[in-house]
Amino acid sequence: MVVADLYRQMVVLLRSVFTDNVEFEVECLLKHYFKINSAGFTEHLRMKISYNQYQSCLELAKRRMAHEPLDYILGNSEFMGRLYDVGSGVLIPRSETELLVQEAQCVIPQFFSSAFMGIEFGFGSGIISIELALTFSDSSWLSFDISDEPVKVATKNAQRYDITSIDWKHMDFFESKSLWQDSDQLLFLVANPPYIPTKDLKLLHKSVKNHEPLIALDGGESGLVMYQNMFSLCQDNEFLICLECGINQSESIINFASEFGFRCLNKVFDYQQIPRVLTFTNQI
């Protein structure tokens, strides 16, 4: 048997479950297993394989058929044109979060010189802090996540891109105020908080609800609990804040942000024209 035979079998298997991108996913799985790049894939289709290799690749296909996300099987995900490690303890990056990073990249120079302190709530794989640390090389970061796995994954990703300006904190952001409250300078906060209402979690695709960390998705009864807590915590310091949010949430967030002294500076709409990123400040 050669790789081409295996490729065809895996396509048939995945097509029994999925309708889209099957050939692409099989190619990704095979390139991952045989450690080959796109340029060498066609040539490797003629390569003979052992029975063990055959079985191992079928196991990868079965994992995908069980709706394990492709990025978890591959162990990495692309974000902002860069490759990042991911694992089952961190969310897989979404295109909406690229909008969050892009908005931060645009708005930060309007408020800060080259050096500033950035804070991230719920860093997951670390992609947001890392991308912004790469953009603003003189910035320093306090990045918080309450779960164990993100610290390992984010640290590895930071090492990949030689980033040393981020202090990864394994702690609850809402207990972090003592670390930054004495600053008399404007602070920058960025977050993609959990914003899915608890009742809607059961409606998520099984690849999400059965595999991705629910703690990073569950936004409480309304989906807005974390936003309210963030504005309450930050109201006594001057902040510039960029936040990702969900469908039909932007106006509610803007309204209660104003109750804590924050005004909305900008909305960024996603590719479905949903307000997805909000920017706030309470700077006088």
Among 66, 94, 118, identify where a domain stops. Answer: 66
- Structural domain count of the chain: 2
Domain co-membership, 130 together with 252: yes
Quick check: is 27 in a domain?
Answer: yes
Stretches where the chain sits below pLDDT 50 are none
CATH number of the domain enclosing 164:
3.40.50.150
Among 17, 39, 66, identify where a domain stops. Answer: 66
Domain co-membership, 228 together with 276: yes
In contact, 9 and 49? CB cutoff 8 Å: no
Residue-level pLDDT at 254 = 98
Q: Distance from CA of residue 180 to its chain's centroid?
A: 24
In contact, 246 and 224? CB cutoff 8 Å: no
How does strand 275-281 pair with strand 239-244? Answer: antiparallel
How does strand 117-121 pair with strand 166-170? Answer: unpaired
CA distances from 196 to 79, 98, 214, 226 (A): 22, 19, 10, 11
Domain co-membership, 85 together with 215: yes
Quick check: is 72 in a domain?
Answer: no
First to last CA, the chain: 70
Quick check: is 100 in a domain?
Answer: yes
Domain co-membership, 193 together with 249: yes
pLDDT tens for each residue of 174-221: 999 999 999 999 999 999 999 999 999 999 999 999 999 999 999 999
Domain co-membership, 35 together with 99: no
Domain co-membership, 81 together with 57: no
Domain co-membership, 270 together with 181: yes
Residue-level pLDDT at 44 = 84
Residue-level pLDDT at 40 = 79
Any idea which residue has 């050939």 for tokens?
23
87: buried, middle or exposed (CB in 10 Å: 19+, 13-18, 0-12)? middle
Domain co-membership, 82 together with 212: yes
Domain co-membership, 228 together with 206: yes
Distance, CA of 216 to CA of 227 (rounded, Å): 14
Domain co-membership, 87 together with 25: no
Quick check: is 235 in a domain?
Answer: yes
6: buried, middle or exposed (CB in 10 Å: 19+, 13-18, 0-12)? buried
Domain co-membership, 9 together with 112: no
Quick check: is 267 in a domain?
Answer: yes
Residue-level pLDDT at 260 = 97
In contact, 215 and 239? CB cutoff 8 Å: no
Quick check: is 71 in a domain?
Answer: no
The single-letter DSSP state of residue 179 is G
Domain co-membership, 262 together with 170: yes
Range of the domain at 53: 3-66
At residue 152, the 3 state secondary structure works out as: helix
Quick check: is 81 in a domain?
Answer: yes
Q: Distance from CA of residue 110 to its chain's centroid?
A: 25
Among 18, 42, 66, identify where a domain stops. Answer: 66
